[in-house]
Amino acid sequence: MNTILSTTHLIGLFLFLGGALFYRLVWNTVCGDAGNSLTSTVVQRITWLMIAGAALLLVSTLADVLLSGAQAGWIGILPAALAPVFVASFVAGERARSGLLRILVAVFGLMIICALAATSHAAAESGVLPIACNFVHWIAVLSWGGCLLCLSLLPWPAIYRECAQGGPNFGQLVHRYSNLAIVALGLFVLSGGLLAFVHVHNSDAMNTTYYGKIVTLKGAMVVVLLFTVSMNLLKLAPACRQQSSSAEPQDLRIPLRRFRRVVIIEALLLAGLIVSSGTLVTRDPPGVAPFINPQSWQMTAGEVPLTIQLQPVAGTSSRVRIEISAASSDYRFPEGALAFLDMTTPKHDAGGRDIEAVAIGPSGFLGETVLAMPGVWRFDLRLSYPDGTSLSGEYVLTLPALPLEQDLKSILSLSAIIFSTSGSITFAIGVLLLLSAAWLLRQSWRGKAPAWLMPVSMANMTLGAYLALSVTYVKTYPTTFWSNPQPYNAEVIYQGEIIYRAQCAECHGIVGKGDGPWAKAERGSIPDITAPHMDVHTDGEIFWWITRGIPSLDQPALGEELSESERWTVINYTRSLRHGIPAQ
């Protein structure tokens, strides 16, 4: 039901905002002086489409409030409240040709789009960039999608008759829409790519969550749309413009019929985008990757006691290996036994099912899966024996979010460019693509380069911006990219060991395994700082955790206990626990 209401909500927005945009940006600038009967028919049809859109928006908003039982904020209901006012002002302004009313319509439209951006998933992210990106995303998709819906619903038989009678320049209509569509789709893809990057923080989440799969489906549909819009721009629009600018009257009915067929295909793809977007609105994005530490638990499958060990895979943020072994050293699984496991989280329909674990001896199996988000996860195990016997068991575990997630900020950080060689190369490629694409787009727009370079330039510009932002737009701590001022040598490591034994060994243990006296007596286990997951974190991140503490892991804040120099020194010692002391 939520998906239906969200889809209806989006259809309403496209109809009443898109109708106004189509009339002002396309129809009125090209065919505003067409024959009275055709203009009257088009204006009347657009008016009814806008009224229908406003009604759909009102009904879906009211139904959502009544069915959810929640108190809707004034920003949430603002688009529905302004929709009738917007439509009435637009109709009155066009009939009276009032400049003041047209300005009010533009103000109301911007207020509606601002409200949409303020109530989107982007509003939950830190910083201004996600909301600004969502604002551009709405303007782009409504400009293109609204014009597309109106084009597909125009009175085409009447337009064909006008063409046969030497009517207005409909070739310019095709050309103007094609230019608008390619620019709007370029902005739509660029802003959508950034929003996907913000909401789905790693490729594992993109591949394993329902949210990520819908985003991937949307991307595939947008690729097809770019192809159809490019075909309009490169083939149909020049043909229509050439015939319409000919000294002798030309019959545009054949290219216009081809154009209409392409428009119908685009409208069907737009419908798919609306449905998928309506689905995404009802689901929370995956967010940040979970904080995965090595852990183990006991469970039974039938009557067989088992020990399960979970280990993060080095160099990844969410991939884990799961070892299944008999709790008793004397137990042996029958030869030919198979083990299958599920790791699922019901909230996001994420994880993997029917993952076959590989036998690693007579008393153990090893499987690998992805845990792409924090939260409650359910582990289901099925053992299948050659005699047909099947045993099963389950266990529920909770994965925390990244420690101190409330301190993570999405920022544009130029420090990230020089932090790694791969990041520097990626950023340089992105900037080169952006600059070359902008130059080619300008040349193509001015007619100094082939027209087919325009969509190619748009695609390259989108890719370049995405590459540049993937390096510089990061969700991080303020100190993440700080460099450790202490040299990594034996002397500093020795000093760090003294600090570590005095401040850290009670919890983390002498060699950092998380088995210190306090951990054993009070908590049971704490993170192993010699494990592979430590290589994923920068010295700046560890500095932040030592300074501010990690409440979810009972890590105390030592910013008042240790000086900055001492904190950097002890970080070098913790690195040596995993990588050893460098030779003199």
Strand partners, 326: 306
Q: What are phi and psi of 5, to 5 degrees?
A: -65, -40
The stretch 111-117 carries a mean pLDDT of 86
Of 18-22, 35-39, 393-397, 444-448, the range with the highest mean pLDDT is 393-397
CA angle 457, 458, 459 (to 5 degrees): 90
CA distances from 277 to 7, 270, 483 (A): 7, 10, 41
Confidence (pLDDT) at 157 = 81
**In sequence order, what DSSP letters do the residues of 562-575 get, joined into one string?**
S-HHHHHHHHHHHH
pLDDT band at 16 (very low <50, low <70, confident <90, very high): confident
Tokens for 459, please give them.
Answer: 């695609």
Tokens 């045993």 correspond to 391
Which tokens hold the place of 88?
């009435």
Which backbone phi and psi does 383 adopt, to 5 degrees?
-110, 125
Q: What is the pLDDT of residue 247?
A: 46
What is the SS3 assignment for 248?
Answer: coil
pLDDT exceeds 70 at position 357: yes
**Alpha carbon distances (Å) from 52 to 12, 45, 83, 97, 480:** 7, 11, 11, 23, 51
Mean pLDDT of the chain: 79
Nearest to 92, CA basis, from 108, 112, 73 = 108
Query: Taking 60 as the threshold, does the pLDDT of residue 242 lie above it?
Result: no
127: tokens are 């910083």
Query: Who wins on pLDDT, 350 or 51?
Result: 51
Element (H or E) spanning 343, and its range?
strand 338-345
| Res 1 pLDDT > 70 | no
Mean pLDDT for the stretch of residues 272-287: 78
| pLDDT number for residue 249 | 47
- Whole-angstrom distance, CA of residue 33 vs CA of residue 38: 10
Collapsing DSSP to helix, strand or coil, 584 comes out as coil
More confident residue, 542 or 128: 542
Instruction: Pick from 160-169, 278-287, 315-324 the range whose average pLDDT is largest.
Output: 315-324
pLDDT tens digits, residue range 517-528? Answer: 887 676 666 778
Q: What is the 3-state secondary structure (H, E, C) of 426-482?
A: HHHHHHHHHHHHHHHHHHHHCCCCCCCHHHHHHHHHHHHHHHHHHHHEEEECCCCCC
Does residue 467 contact residue 406 with C-beta atoms inside 8 Å? no
Q: Which helix (H) or strand (E) holds 498?
A: helix 490-503
Q: Is 369 helix (H, G, I), strand (E, B) or coil?
A: strand
Q: What whole-number distance in Å separates Cα of residue 148 and Cα of residue 214?
A: 22
pLDDT category at 543 given cuts 50, 70, 90 is very high
Q: Under DSSP, is residue 105 helix (H, G, I), strand (E, B) or coil?
A: helix
Tell me what the mean pLDDT of segment 220-246 comes to.
65
- Give me the pLDDT at residue 565, please: 92
d(CA 50, CA 13): 9
Closest CA to 90 of 80, 78, 79, 104: 104
Residues shown for the chain:
584
Q: Which residues contact 223 (CB under 8 A, 6 or more apart)?
A: none
Residue 446 φ then ψ, to 5°? -85, 0
pLDDT band at 389 (very low <50, low <70, confident <90, very high): confident
Distance CA 201, CA 345 (A): 18
Q: Higher pLDDT residue, 563 or 257?
A: 563
Q: For residue 384, give the amino acid letter.
A: S
How does pLDDT run across 460-501, given as a tens digit for each residue? Answer: 777 787 788 777 777 777 788 788 999 988 899 899 999 999
**532-552 in b/e burial notation, b at 16+ Cβ within 10 A?**
ebbeeebbbbbbbbbbbbbee
| Pairwise CA distance, residues 294 & 308, whole Å | 11
Which residues are within 8 A (CB) of 128 and not within 5 positions of it... i.e. 6 or more apart? none
The proportion of the chain whose per-residue pLDDT surpasses 70, expressed as a percent, equals 84
Cα–chain center distance at 74 = 26
- Read off the pLDDT of each residue in 302-327 and give the average, rounded to a whole number: 84
The per-residue pLDDT for 499 is 92
Range with the largest mean pLDDT of 16-25, 31-40, 220-229: 16-25
pLDDT tens column, 154-197: 887 877 777 666 655 677 777 777 778 777 877 887 787 777 77
Helix/strand/coil percent split, the chain, to 5: 60, 15, 25
Q: Is the pTM of this model over 0.75?
A: no
Could you give the CA distance from residue 450 to residue 230 in angstroms, rounded to a whole number?
A: 13
Q: Taking a C-beta distance cutoff of 8 angstroms, is the pair 195, 201 a contact?
A: no
pLDDT value, residue 451: 65
Note whether 159 and 256 are within 8 A (CB).
yes
SS3 394: strand
Pairing of strands 375-384, 390-399: antiparallel
Per-residue pLDDT for 248 more than 70? no
Give the count of alpha carbons within 13 A of 17, CB side only: 28
